[in-house]
């Protein structure tokens, strides 16, 4: 029994060392998000858990990824804007949305570059560019260089990180846009919702 345990322990150690040398080890934690915006959202993780449904919390606050082809926003063709499901900041216009065939809502550009920030992401054994909300730091998805014209970019977003608002209601957000935790607009009867959101 001791010999078997020794062999298993040695094999596991060799595998871990090999993974670390090839870059397949778990990436170190990222530096905490710090927004320089005046309207930055700085609340506790406990408050985020109260404001978000479990899937949106997993994606936005823990950097998770929803399963492909599960978000209703992937198929949404309505005219409007896509908000951060965490704080309600308008991020993408429906006019920049396209069907990438990947199973996640995809856009060729954000509404404004200062609304979606890029961060290096070396997790999962590859180098990617993560996108986060500039106001609350919520994980949105990743950007790739295989999109359509005019930018050639594909912002591949998690539907659980977004909420949709019809264009006729955009004025409800205010200018600059107000903070709406969980993308819930207090003045509206039909609130923008994310997949799996609590009623």
Query: How many CB atoms are closer than 10 A to CB 119?
Result: 15
**Is 156 a known active-site residue?**
yes
Per-residue confidence in pLDDT tens, the chain, 199 aa: 566 555 555 544 444 444 333 333 334 455 566 777 778 888 999 999 999 999 999 999 999 999 999 999 999 999 999 999 999 999 999 999 999 999 999 999 999 999 999 999 988 888 999 999 999 999 999 999 999 999 999 999 999 999 999 999 998 888 888 888 887 765 444 444 444 444 3
From 84, 87, 136, 156, the catalytic residue: 156
Q: Which of 103, 102, 28, 32 is nearest to 61 (CA)?
A: 32
Q: Which of 157, 144, 32, 172 is nearest to 84 (CA)?
A: 157
List of residues 6+ apart from 172 with CB closer than 8 A: 165, 185, 187, 188
CA angle 58, 64, 67 (to 5 degrees): 100
């Amino acid at each position: 029994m001791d010999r078997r345990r020794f062999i298993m322990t040695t094999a596991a150690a060799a595998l871990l060392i090999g993974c670390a040398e090839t870059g397949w080890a778990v990436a170190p934690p990222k530096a905490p998000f710090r927004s320089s915006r005046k309207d930055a959202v700085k609340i506790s993780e406990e408050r985020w858990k109260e404001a978000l449904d479990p899937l949106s919390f997993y994606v936005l606050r823990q950097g998770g990824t929803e399963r492909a082809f599960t978000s209703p926003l992937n198929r949404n063709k309505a005219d409007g804007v896509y908000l951060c499901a965490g704080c309600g900041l308008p991020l993408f216009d429906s006019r920049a949305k396209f069907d990438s065939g990947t199973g996640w809502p995809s856009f060729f550009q954000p509404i404004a570059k200062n609304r979606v920030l890029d961060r290096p992401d070396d997790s999962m054994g590859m180098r990617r560019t993560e996108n986060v909300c500039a106001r609350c730091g919520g994980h949105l998805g990743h950007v790739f260089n295989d999109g359509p014209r005019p930018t050639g970019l594909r912002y591949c977003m998690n539907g659980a990180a977004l909420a949709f608002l019809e264009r006729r209601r955009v004025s409800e957000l205010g200018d600059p846009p107000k903070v709406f935790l969980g993308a819930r607009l207090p003045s509206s009867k039909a609130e923008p919702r994310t997949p799996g959101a609590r009623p």
